[in-house]
Amino acid sequence: MSRAVTTDSTTEPGHEVPGPVPDAPEPTAEEKPGSRARSQLMVLLAVCCLALGGVFVRISEVGPVATGGYRSLLAAPMLLGMSLAAARRTRVNATAPTVSGAGRPRIGRRDQLLIVLGGLFLAADLCLWNISFLYTSLAEANLLANLVPFIIAPLCFLLFGDRLPWRLALPALLALAGLYILVILGTGLDPQHLRGDLLALATAVFYALFLVVAKGLRERHEATRIMATLSLVCGLACFAVAALLGESMWPTSAKGWLVLIALAVTSQLLGQTLMAHAVKFLPLQLAALFVLLQPVAAAVYGLVLFDQRLSLVQMAGIGVLLVSIFWAKNLLEGKK
C-alpha cells in the first residue's frame, strides 16, 4: 500500500510497502512539550518519503516489476539488521533469567507457509502498483491504493466470520461516488488511464490480503523479523514475474543503482521507520489524517517532475475519496 502503514498491521495508511511495524507504547505524561510537534514533522517527512515510490519507478532503468523486486531485496538485509539489533537489546535488557533455549519463538512450518503466502500477496501488490504508475497519475495510484479499509472488512467476514461493521456502509457509498467521479468522469474512460486506475484498485485488494496474513504472523513474531523474510520472498517473486514479462532486469549505470537504493531507503525503510516512531506520540485519528496527505504529496511530485495535471473533476473525486477513507478509518479505529 504507501503507501504508508499505520501503527499496526491491520490497516493501511497509504501503501507504502508495506508491512507491519513494531508495536508502539502509549505516550507518557512525561513527554516534552515539543515532542508532538516533532512527531508531526516526522510523520510529514515519512509521508513525503512514502510518496516517492512512484517517482523512482518512473525514472528507474529497469522495468516496474523488477524495480519492485529490488525495492524488497535491498530492504531485506536492512530489516534483518534491525531485527537482530532488536533481539540483542531484548537480551541485554532482560532482567530475569530465561529458560535454556528460550528466546524468540521458532518459526514453525505453518508460519513458514504463511510467510510465503504473504510474500506472494505483497509481490502481487507491488507488481500491480508499480505498473499502474506508467498509466495513471501518481496521485491517483497512491489514492486508490488507500481503499484498503473498505476491503479488509468483507475479507475478515469471508475468512474469519467477523461481523461486518455496517457503519462502514455510508463511507463506502461515498467512496463509490468518489470512484465514479475520479475514474469514470475524470478520465473520460480513456483506456490507458482506466487501466492504470484498475491496476491501482487491484493493488488495494492484494495489500488487504497481505495484511490479513501479516496480522496473524505479527501476533506470534517480532515485526522486523517477519518483514525481512517477507521482503525476501516478495523480491524473488517480483523478479520471477519480471523475467516472464521480459522486463529489463539490470541497471546500466551507477545512476540506475542509486535510484533503486534510494527507493529502498526512502519508500521501504525510512518512511516506515519514521512513521512507526512518530505515531506513538500522536492520536490515531491525527496520524490517519496525516497519512492521507500521501496522495497530495504524490500529486505535487507528479506535477513538478512529470507535468501530471489534474482536472477539476479529478480533484473533486480525490477530495470525496479522501473524506470517505478518513471517515472509514475513524469508524474502524473507534470500533477497535
Q: Of 326, 247, 229, 248, which is closest to residue 287 (Cα–Cα)?
A: 326
Residue 38 · residue 27 · CB < 8 Å: no
> Can you say whether residue 103 is alpha, beta or left, with left for phi > 0 and alpha for psi between -120 and 50 degrees?
left
Which residues lie below 8 Å from residue 280, measured CB to CB, with a gap of 6+? 7, 24, 25, 26, 27
How far is the C-alpha of 45 from the C-alpha of 50, rounded, in Å? 9
The Cα–Cα gap between 218 and 25 comes to 16
Q: How far apart are CA 146 and CA 207, in angstroms?
A: 10
DSSP summary character for residue 279:
G
Question: Which pLDDT score, from 0 to 100, does residue 80 have?
Answer: 83
Predicted confidence at residue 252, as pLDDT, reads 93
The CA distance from 155 to 127, in Å, is 21
* Cβ atoms within 10 Å, residue 116: 15
The helix (run of H) or strand (run of E) holding residue 137 is: none
Going by C-alpha positions, the residue among 150, 138, 149 that lies closest to residue 5 is: 149
Whether the full predicted model's pTM is greater than 0.75, yes or no, is yes
Q: What's the CA gap between 133 and 94, in Å, rounded?
A: 47
Phi, psi of 101 (to 5 degrees): 85, -5
Phi and psi at residue 52, to the nearest 5°? -75, -10
Residues 228 and 85: their CA atoms lie apart, in Å, by 13
- Supply the DSSP symbol for 94: -
Cβ of 93: how many Cβ atoms within 10 Å? Answer: 7
CA-derived radius of gyration, the chain: 19
Other Cβ atoms less than 10 A from the Cβ of 88: the count is 10
> Given this model, what pLDDT does residue 284 score?
64
Convert the pLDDT of each residue in 280-289 to its tens digit: 777 766 777 7
Provide the pLDDT for residue 105.
67
Write out residues in the chain with pLDDT < 50, as ranges: 1-2, 4-14, 16-31, 96-102, 336
- Per-residue pLDDT, 271: 82
- How far is residue 65's CA from residue 235's CA, in Å, rounded to a whole number? 9
Instruction: Give tens-digit pLDDT for 84-126.
Output: 887 787 777 655 444 334 456 677 888 889 999 999 999 999 9
